[in-house]
A and B are shown apart, each in its own frame.
Chain A
Amino acid sequence: MSKNKELISKIGLRLDGRRANELRRIRCKLGVFTEPDGSAYIEQGLTKVLAAVYGPHEVRGGRSKAQHNSAIINCQFSMAVFSTTERKKRPRGDRKSTELSMHLQQALEAAIKSELYPFCQIDVYVEVLHADGGIYPACVNAATLALIDAGIPLKEYVCACTASLANNDIPMLDISHQEEVLGGPTLTVAALPMSGKIVLMEMSQRFHLDHLDKVLEKALQGCKDIKEILDNAVRLHVTDIGSSTGWANTKH
């Protein structure tokens, strides 16, 4: 556990200068592409993700897969071969990408009002351009923005965040790649932050059950903070689009 001690210095700063409960800088943009029905780009620290949403449209590859009471949510996770320091061999199709695709689908299915689109399919594609820790949370957040851009009804925002435990007692938020490598457990949580429900929880490595509560609480707080940031971006985007179509002049 000697390694873990270095995660937070004596004066309470992390390796990249953040405090324990600080997120990395999030910058995002909706509507980056014209071809998809919805698209978004998000930067969380150095992690950069593009998401595109197509649909709702008719089910591809035969109607036999179609469901009479809800839409099919189809997710594909893919990582650019240059996204990691060591060049990757394949952009998708390996175990890790398949697992992340499934987790993404699980998180989004909880938020999308899929019962409104029977016999339909919604495609969500995410592409990681730069991986620097917290890939899954960035993908969930980007997918949420893209779904909002596509105008697909959601129950509420779905946000994800990671948290870890430093020095065996201080929970810390939004783990970077450097901190992931140095060790310590990583708890990934995808949540519906307004109702406070958890839709996906994943943990790597072990820590004492006594610590779980405070780390989980930290992660949920992170999800709520991210929701505020995303909500701001959405409002700005809608104002931008609205004012360019002249909604400010409707009174006259």
Chain B
Amino acid sequence: MALCDAEKTFVLHGVQDNFRIDGRELDDYRPMELETDVVSHAFGSARLRLANTDVLVAVKIELDVPFPESPQNGKIEFFVDCSANATPEFEGRGGEDLAIAISNTLTTAYSSSLAFDSRKLCLLNGKKCWKLYVDILILECGGNLFDAVSIAVKAALWNTRIPFVKNVNIDGNNIDLDVSDDLCLCERLDIENAPVMVTVCKIGDKCIVDPNAAEEHCSMGSVVVAVSGTKISTIYQTGTGSLHPATLTESLQLGFRVAIRLNEALSKVLSRIRPDEEAGFLK
């Protein structure tokens, strides 16, 4: 997106008067649409549309061996794919830098056992565990990717059904897992404290949340705050600008407040989702 100086000034003045270009206030979000169970052959999936940012997340599960340094923990891996459908700049390997930035932030945000307890994914201490592949596909880019991705990931993990293991037979080095055939018999993940990320963007001398593409363009720097429960789990500064320590603290507080509200709203929405609702791109 290319903006001329006059357009940038217009965005800046709007932010100063607490009346942004789309009529929102500084700490308002754009409307969101959340669907779960959109990918039929995945163990869990979710699609989030935040205004015109579109993210699709699918969770696949495979059996694996735990890392030797953490024999009691299962594994979780995040993979972000920036589809060229979002913008021609992502063609070929163009989206790789952004993809790695997002997946690394997610990995650190989920690495704490207080945020996501991977011990439940362990089946047999040091021998067998589940590995969750969380695959994130970015289909449209309308600003604020980090927030959209984190919400979609949380919803997809909420939707994930882990196969139920009836019993484990150990015969020497051979380990035989007896996985239940009953599809209804499955375990859910505890995502109560799964982190929610909020991007706080500095424009002029004010901080805003949920920037759209134009506002992201005008931003001097931004901070991604991942909040798990009532604690901050990760902070990641993006962009090229620099922030004063006072501004940084201020934006962290703003991000924290908004994340708590966002998390509450998300739990409310997830509890209302019915399994038989029609979901997908045809709506």
Contact = CB atoms under 8 A, between A and B. Distances in A.
B275 interface: no
Interface of B: 39-42, 45, 52, 54, 56, 58, 60, 62, 79, 81, 83-88, 91-93, 133, 135, 137, 139-142, 281-282
Contacts of A207: none
A50 B84 CA distance: 11
Nearest to A88: B135
Given A46-B40, A125-B91, A33 B84 contact: no
A29 interface: yes
Contacts of A130: 39-41
A27 B282 contact: yes
A87 B91 contact: no
Contact of B41 (A35, A51, A85): A85
Contacts of A48: 281
Interface in A77-91: 78, 80-82, 85, 87, 91
B91 A76 contact: yes
A234 interface: no
The 7 nearest A-B residue pairs measured at CB: A82-B58, A52-B85, A125-B84, A41-B281, A91-B81, A82-B135, A34-B52
Given A29-B282, A33-B54, A82-B58, A127 B135 contact: no
B140 A127 contact: no
B contacts with A: majority SS: loop
Given A80-B81, A130-B41, A60 B88 contact: yes
Nearest to A50: B85
Contact of B42 (A36, A82, A91): A82
B137 A35 contact: no
17 contacts: A29-B281, A29-B282, A50-B85, A50-B281, A74-B91, A80-B83, A82-B60, A87-B135, A93-B93, A123-B84, A123-B88, A123-B91, A125-B84, A127-B83, A127-B84, A127-B139, A130-B39
